Amino acid sequence: MIERLLPGLGWLRGYDRAALQGDGLAAVIVTIMLIPQSLAYALLAGLPPEAGLYASMLPLVAYALFGSSATLAVGPVAVVSLMTAAAVGELTAVGTPEYRGAALVLALLSGLFLVAMGLARLGFLASLLSHPVISGFITASGLLIAASQLKHILGVEASGHTLPELALSLFENIDAVNGPTLAIGAGATLFLFWVRGLLKPLLMKAGLGPRWADSAAKAGPVAAVIATILLVDLLSLDQAGVSVVGAIPEGLPPLALPPLDPALWRDLLPAAVLISVVGFVESVSVAQTLAAKRRERIAPNRELIGLGAANLAAGVTGGYPVTGGFARSVVNFDAGARTPLAGVMTALGIGVTALLLTPLFQQLPKATLAATIVVAVLSLVDLGALKRTWAYSKGDFAAMAATILVVLGVGVEAGIVTGVTLSLVIFLVRASRPHMAVVGQVPGTQHFRNVKRHLVITSPQVLSLRVDESLYFANARWLEDRLYDMAAADPGIRHVVLICSAVNDIDASALESLEALTERLEAAGVRFHLSEVKGPVMDKLKRSHFLDKLTGLVFLSQYDALTALDPGTTWRALNEPRPERSAAAS
C-alpha cells in the first residue's frame, strides 16, 4: 500500500544492519563533501550561502520518497546554479529579496513542470537533447562558470553573463586585485588540483585502499575550507580586504510559499523548462550508470516525479533549483550507499550543520569557495570531445560547436536552444534525403540488387526503385520529384515500380505525394506500381482512396512485378547485357 503511494519506499522491505551501515557511512562522506559545495553553488547562483544549505535538506528527503534511484545524490549543482543566476539575474538584482523570491519561483515552476512531465509519461522527450549538445553545453558551462569565479579568486568586482563580457570586466578591474585574496584563492585552487590529481596515488602508495584514498581526496575541499577559515581568523585577513561569507542565519529552513506574481511566473517559465530538462538529463545519465553497476534499473518517469518533488520542496523551503549531482552521486555509491535512506541521513547532516555549525563559516573566504567551484567544473570541460566528434560526424560536430559558441558568447539558455534546434534540423535534412537505388535482377535468381553495385538485369521499359526509408512529410516531396525526374529522363520507360520492402510507414503527406506522382506519371504515359508492401502499410493504404487511383498494380514481390510487366526481360537481358547500366559495379 505504502509502496503505491510512495514508490520510493520500496527498499524499506528487507532493510537490514548492513544496509544501514553502508547508508550511514555514505551519508557522512557526502555531507562533508556537500557542505562546501552547497555554500559555493549558492554563491554561484547569486544567492546567500544559507540558500545552498536549505536546498540540501528537504529536497533530498522529497527525492528519497518519490525517486527511483537508490544512490542518486540530489542537491545544488554547478550547471543548474549557473542557469539560475542567468535566469533570475535577467529580471532582478543580486542581493535583493526579489532575487531570492525569483529563485524560489524558479524551483517551484521547475518542480511543477517535472511532475507534470512525469505524470504525462513524457520523459522520452528529454531524448531531444542529443549527446553532442549536452556534452558541448556542459563543457561551455564549465568554462563560463570558471570564468565567473575568477573575480572571487582575484578579489575584484566583475560582472557579465558571457565569456567576452566577463573577460572585459575582469580586464578593466585588474588593477584592483587584492593580494591576500589572490594568495588564498590561488593557493586553494592549486591545493585542490593537487588533491584531485596527485594525492590519491600518494595515499595508495602509502598503503591506503583505493576506495579510502578516493574518499580522503574528496575531503580536500573541507580541508581547504578549514585551513583558510583559520588563516583569515588568525591574521584578521577580512580586515585586509578578503571577502568572507559572513553571518549565516542559524536554524532550519523557513517554510513559505514563493511570491505569487503571475508576470514573474510567466517570465521565468521558459528558464524553468530548460533547467528542468537539463537537470533531468544529467541526473538520469548518472542514475542509470550507477544502477547498471548493481543490475538495478531506474524508471525515467518516476525520476521526473522524484526530481519534481525535490524542486517543489526547494521552492517552499528557501532553496533554489536542484538536481542529481554527478560527482556527489558517484561518491555516495562508492562509499557504500544502498538505499535512499543515505540521502535522508545526508539531509539530517546538513540540518545539524545549519543548526549548529554556521557560525564557523562566518570567516570563510569566498575565494576558497570559488576555488572549489573552479576545480570541480574544470573537470567537466572536455574539449577533446570536439575532436572526437569531428572525426566521427560533421553534423554532430556542428551542433556541438554551435552550442559551445552560443553558450560562451550569448548565454546558457540561447546555447541549449540553438543546439537542440540545430540537431533537429540536421536530423530532418538527413532523413529528408533517404538512400534510394535503382535495382535489377541478379541473373538466375529472384533477388534484386542496386545496379551500381551488382551485375544485374534491367528492363528497358520498367524502372524499379527501392527506397530505404519510411515515406513521410520530410522526404515525400523530394522522393516525388526524384522518382518523376528519373522516369521522365528515359522516354522508353512505361512502368515505374516502387519497392517498399524498407518502408515501415507512409504518412498522409507521403500518401498525397504518391497520388500526385501517380497523376504526374499518368500524364506522362507511365504507369506506377508498388511491390513488397508490408502488411501494416497495406492495411493503411486500403483505408485511403489511393489504391483506386493507382494506375498500376500492387505486386507481392518485385520478381512478380518484373515478370508481369516485361515477361521477355530475362531472356533479352541475358542475351544482350546492357553494360552502360549494369556493369557499374562497385
Applying CB under 8 A, among 1, 255, 263, 391 the residue interacting with a second copy is 391
449 forms beta bridges with 440
Give the integer Cα–Cα distance in Å for 257 and 316. 5
Applying CB under 8 A, among 225, 307, 476, 496 the residue interacting with a second copy is 476
- The verdict on 545 binding a second copy (CB under 8 A) reads yes
Instruction: Give the torsion sign (CA, 181, 182, 184, 185).
Output: positive
- The verdict on 571 binding a second copy (CB under 8 A) reads no
CB of 312 to a second copy, least distance (A): 26
The enclosing H or E element of 441 equals: strand 436-441
Give the integer Cα–Cα distance in Å for 440 and 582. 8
Q: 352 near 50, Cβ under 8 Å?
A: no
> Stretches 95-103, 174-182, 271-279, 395-403: which one binds a second copy (CB under 8 A)?
395-403
554 forms beta bridges with 530
AA identity, residue 238: D
Burial class, 559, CB count within 10 angstroms (exposed 0-12 / middle 13-18 / buried 19+): middle
Applying CB under 8 A, among 17, 175, 206, 485 the residue interacting with a second copy is 485
CB of 284 to a second copy, least distance (A): 8
428 CB contacts (<8 Å, ≥6 apart)? 474
Q: What track of x and - describes contact with a second copy for positions 220 through 259 (by CB under 8 A)?
A: ----------------------------------------
Number of residues that bind a second copy (CB under 8 A): 64
Q: What track of x and - describes contact with a second copy for positions 182 through 201 (by CB under 8 A)?
A: --------------------
The enclosing H or E element of 204 equals: helix 200-205
Instruction: Give the torsion sign (CA, 31, 333, 377, 135).
Output: negative
> Stretches 27-35, 176-184, 367-375, 542-550: which one binds a second copy (CB under 8 A)?
542-550
CB of 33 to a second copy, least distance (A): 24
Q: How many CB atoms lie within 10 A of CB 250?
A: 12
Applying CB under 8 A, among 37, 317, 475, 531 the residue interacting with a second copy is 475
Using alpha carbons only, give the angle 199, 80, 394 rounded to the nearest 5 degrees: 85
Q: 390 near 397, Cβ under 8 Å?
A: yes
Applying CB under 8 A, among 543, 548, 576, 579 the residue interacting with a second copy is 543
Applying CB under 8 A, among 364, 511, 561, 562 the residue interacting with a second copy is 511
Q: Which residue is associated with the grid cell 519534481? A: 308
- The verdict on 429 binding a second copy (CB under 8 A) reads yes
Q: 317 near 58, Cβ under 8 Å?
A: yes
Range 282-341, binding a second copy (CB under 8 A): 288-289, 292-295, 297, 300
- The verdict on 119 binding a second copy (CB under 8 A) reads no
> Stretches 43-51, 148-156, 368-376, 515-523: which one binds a second copy (CB under 8 A)?
515-523
Length of the chain: 586
Range 124-153, binding a second copy (CB under 8 A): 124, 126-132
Give the integer Cα–Cα distance in Å for 222 and 219. 5
Applying CB under 8 A, among 379, 544, 557, 563 the residue interacting with a second copy is 544
> Stretches 26-34, 159-167, 199-207, 499-507: which one binds a second copy (CB under 8 A)?
499-507
CB of 462 to a second copy, least distance (A): 19
> Cα-flanking dihedrals φ and ψ of residue 200, to 5°?
-60, -50
CB of 39 to a second copy, least distance (A): 33
Q: Roughly how many angstroms between the first and final C-alpha of the chain, as a whole number?
A: 65
Cα 65 to Cα 54, 167, 284, distances in angstroms = 18, 44, 17
Range 255-274, binding a second copy (CB under 8 A): none
Residue ranges in contact with a second copy by CB under 8 A:
124, 126-132, 288-289, 292-295, 297, 300, 388-389, 391-393, 395-396, 400, 423-424, 427-432, 435, 468-469, 472-478, 481, 484-485, 488, 502, 504-505, 507-509, 511-513, 516, 519-520, 523-524, 540, 543-545
